[in-house]
Structure 1
Amino acid sequence: MSLILEEISVKREHSFRSKIDVLPHIEVPWHYHPEYELIFIEKSHGTLVVGDCIDHFNDGDMIFIGPNTPHIMKNDDLFYSKESEERVIAWVVHFKEDSFGKEFFLLPEMKRIKEMLINSFKGIRIDGSTKYKIIQLLQNLHNSDYSQRIIILLQILQLIAQSEDLEYLASDSFVESFKQSSNQKLYKIYEYVSENFQQKIDLDEAAKVANMSKTAFCRFFKSKTQKTFSEFLNEMRINYAQKLLAEGKLTVAQIAYECGFNSPSYFNKQFKANTGKTPLQKKEHSY
């Protein structure tokens, strides 16, 4: 399945969209759109992929995603069971860079917000007191109309721009690779890895996804990302492993297999090479 451009409709009387979704499960595929997206997950849990970041999402999470960043949220399997009583409740805001005029965010007073918007291509997880202040503003936004909607959205953006409660999701190398290329093949490779990283991934199969020979694929991938496919795959797996270590629910050996490594010893070696610490040291540091 290719990366999908999602079309986002806005009411004629509004300059941006805000809504509350109540669903049995999330159905949006691997996609992108030209709008900025703020999403507050009031109730739901599953897997989040933003660029080359793979993470969990849970009740109470808040994510801000920049325009044209490929992403997907997929619920845990129990949401898709016919007998499931689980429900998704999500508050969502979409707006474009020019929603308030083509040069609005170029105004001197918008400098901090503009800088934050540029960095949002990586995806931002919002936490702490900032998140709770934004939740209150989202509730006000849902019940507001006319110019009050714009005022509240700007208050939200200002809170994000000045906050220290932020975690950037995708890597800098991902951002650079997509600045340099809008190549659909690269999107397909990221999608393939994000869906299959927990299993054995064969280089031949990855080359087939890109519809290239293995030699051409290796050369193409290195030229776009400045790293080998194996390095990229290990980095993506280790990024996910760090999330699991922070949660503290699994042993190091369990995490190794959960992230697609075929042995704990190889996982330990790759983890230390990428982070400078062993998984056990990282786990102890998280507590």
Structure 2
Amino acid sequence: MSLQLEQIPIKNEHSFRSKIDVLPHIEVAWHYHPEFELIYIEKSQGTLIVGDCIDKFTDGDMIFLGPNIPHVMKNEEAHYQKNPDLHAIAWVVHFKEDSFGKEFFLIPEMYRIKSFLKKSFQGVRIDGSTKYKIIQHLKTLHASDFSQRIIILLQILQILAQSDDLEYLASKNFVESFQQRSNQKLYKIYEYVSANFQQKIELEEAAKLANMSKTAFCRFFKSKTKKTFSEFLNEMRINYSKKLLAEGSLTVSQIAYECGFNSPSYFNKQFKALTGKAPLQLRGQGLESFSQ
């Protein structure tokens, strides 16, 4: 899974892009782009990776992504078997910070929107009444032209800037380290862990990927991310486990192995250390229980 810079084509008569994709399945690489992205998944299911966050997505999900955050969506395996009953429908908006002029978001009236855009570099999941308001605006946007397009997009951003229905995805440490554009070695490590976190990953493998000795790699990784490689790997696995626990369809032991832990007791210990709660307490209670 090689990280790619995606080029977003925008028509000459538009300052930003909005579209509806209807596809047999989602087919995108691990990628990033300088545009902000709003995506509403009307129909599709699978795995979402935003930075160091592993999540699931399903029908009705909505995500907002800041510029240059690496991300990928991959459907469940059944979607790639040419089943005519399975397909993906996604509403997508791409725009740059200077789409409306280099200093547009610096004017006083844009302060709240500017603050939201700055935090969106972590990636944001949008829920609740906020999501349903935005869906209605997306439908209007798709049927609009000329200046009405800009007005509707600003209305969407204002709703987001005032919302409490937001869940931030990637960690701040990940975003800060990724924005140091010279860290090509970190990109390779993130890619590798994102693709293999459900399997056994040895420190030696990560060090070899970075072309370093284990000692040098440990120093390098800690200096860039403010955590050890083991802590980073465990946090990624625990973040994924939260989604599985919220669904409640698997036992705690099954979730431990599904997330790459080779021992349910070790999973329980790490989960409690990171969340302050035992996984069994939160199984089947929904994602809101993790923020209480």
TM-score, normalised via structure 1 length: 0.97
**One-letter amino acid of the structure 2 residue matched with residue 125 of structure 1:** R
For 1:157 and 1:82, the matched residues in 2 are separated by 37
State whether residues 50 and 69 of structure 1, in contact with CA within 8 Å, keep that contact through their aligned partners in structure 2. Answer: yes
| Map of 2:91 onto structure 1 | 91
185-194 or 252-261, which moves further after superposition? 185-194
Residue 22 of structure 2 is aligned to residue 22 of structure 1 = yes
| Map of 1:58 onto structure 2 | 58
User: How many residues end up aligned between the 2 structures?
Assistant: 287
Aligned-residue offset at 1:103: 0.1
**One-letter amino acid of the structure 2 residue matched with residue 163 of structure 1:** S
The alignment partner of 1:173 has SS state of: helix
State whether residues 78 and 84 of structure 1, in contact with CA within 8 Å, keep that contact through their aligned partners in structure 2. Answer: no
What RMSD, in angstroms, separates the aligned Cα atoms of the two structures? 1.3
State whether residues 4 and 32 of structure 1, in contact with CA within 8 Å, keep that contact through their aligned partners in structure 2. Answer: yes
Unmatched 5+ residue regions in structure 2? none
For 1:182 and 1:48, the matched residues in 2 are separated by 25
The alignment partner of 2:2 has SS state of: coil
**Deviations 1:163-201 (CA, angstroms, capped at 9, x unpaired):** 111111111221232344541111111111111011101
**One-letter amino acid of the structure 1 residue matched with residue 211 of structure 2:** N
Identity between Structure 1 and Structure 2 (%): 78
**One-letter amino acid of the structure 2 residue matched with residue 87 of structure 1:** H
| Map of 2:128 onto structure 1 | 128
**Deviations 1:91-137 (CA, angstroms, capped at 9, x unpaired):** 00000000000000001000000000000010000111111111011
203-212 or 179-188, which moves further after superposition? 179-188
Aligned-residue offset at 1:246: 1.1
For 2:284 and 2:192, the matched residues in 1 are separated by 32
**Deviations 1:124-170 (CA, angstroms, capped at 9, x unpaired):** 00111111111011011011000000000000000001011111111
Aligned-residue offset at 1:255: 0.5
| Map of 1:117 onto structure 2 | 117
State whether residues 237 and 260 of structure 2, in contact with CA within 8 Å, keep that contact through their aligned partners in structure 1. Answer: yes
**Deviations 1:51-82 (CA, angstroms, capped at 9, x unpaired):** 11000000000000000000000100001113
| Map of 1:275 onto structure 2 | 275
| Map of 2:192 onto structure 1 | 192
**Deviations 1:260-284 (CA, angstroms, capped at 9, x unpaired):** 0001111111111111111112337
| Map of 2:234 onto structure 1 | 234
Matches within 5 A, 1:137-286: 137-283=137-283, 286=286
State whether residues 38 and 64 of structure 1, in contact with CA within 8 Å, keep that contact through their aligned partners in structure 2. Answer: yes
The alignment partner of 1:113 has SS state of: helix
State whether residues 247 and 284 of structure 2, in contact with CA within 8 Å, keep that contact through their aligned partners in structure 1. Answer: no
For 2:180 and 2:24, the matched residues in 1 are separated by 38
TM-score, normalised via structure 2 length: 0.95
The alignment partner of 1:164 has SS state of: coil
The alignment partner of 2:149 has SS state of: helix
**One-letter amino acid of the structure 1 residue matched with residue 238 of structure 2:** I
After the TM superposition, list the runs of 4 or more consecutive aligned residues in structure 1 that deviate by more than 4 angstroms.
284-287
For 1:4 and 1:165, the matched residues in 2 are separated by 31
